[in-house]
Amino acid sequence: MGSRVRISPAAVYEAELQKRLEMSTAEIGLSVRTTNCLEDRGIFTVAQLLNTKPEDLLKIANFGEKTLEEVYQALERLGFYRRSRLQALGISDRPTPFVPELSDSCVIQFRVVMDDSTTVPVFEQNKQEGVTG
């Protein structure tokens, strides 16, 4: 029988960080238009996206404040937060803005409900036990 090697929490953190940094921008839930804008500028991975200044992103054609906010939200779903957002959440002890435990616990899930009185879908927040906003 083989022996088991304990993996430190720091090693798990680093492995998860590396996995998410290597993800393609097409995998993180951005709109096709946003992904195309990024790829036209040579930004193909989350690491490349995180290393691009917001000012430089806003210089991309058809990339405005709303698109930048879409990018921030997609990155937060992965666990990458702006420093100002981390400070607002009371988290200041991280070497990087990567907080994987928030990516899993603070995701608000929605479901689409079709109301008989309208053809417009209504988005309702799923009720999750133990999740507070």
pLDDT for 10 equals 77
pLDDT for 95 equals 65
Residue with tokens 């995998």: 27
- The crossing angle, in degrees rounded to 10, of helices 65-78 and 32-40 is 100
pLDDT for 18 equals 87
Confidence grade of residue 2 (pLDDT, cut at 50, 70, 90) = low
- Please give the average per-residue pLDDT across 62-68, as a whole number: 94
CATH superfamily of the domain spanning 9-107: 5' to 3' exonuclease, C-terminal subdomain (1.10.150.20)
Encoded tokens for 116? 């008989």
Q: What is the mean pLDDT of the chain?
A: 75
**Structure confidence by residue, pLDDT tens digits, 35-58:** 999 999 999 999 999 999 999 999
Neighbours of 39 (CB within 10 A): 13
Domain boundaries, the chain: 9-107
Q: Please name every residue paired with 125 in a beta bridge, in sequence order, or none if there are none.
A: 110
Confidence check: pLDDT of 84 > 90: no
- CA 124 centroid distance within chain: 21
Confidence grade of residue 104 (pLDDT, cut at 50, 70, 90) = very low
DSSP E strands in 28-118: the ranges are 110-114
Helices and strands of the chain, counted as H and E runs: 7, 2
pLDDT for 33 equals 96
pLDDT for 124 equals 36
Confidence grade of residue 86 (pLDDT, cut at 50, 70, 90) = confident
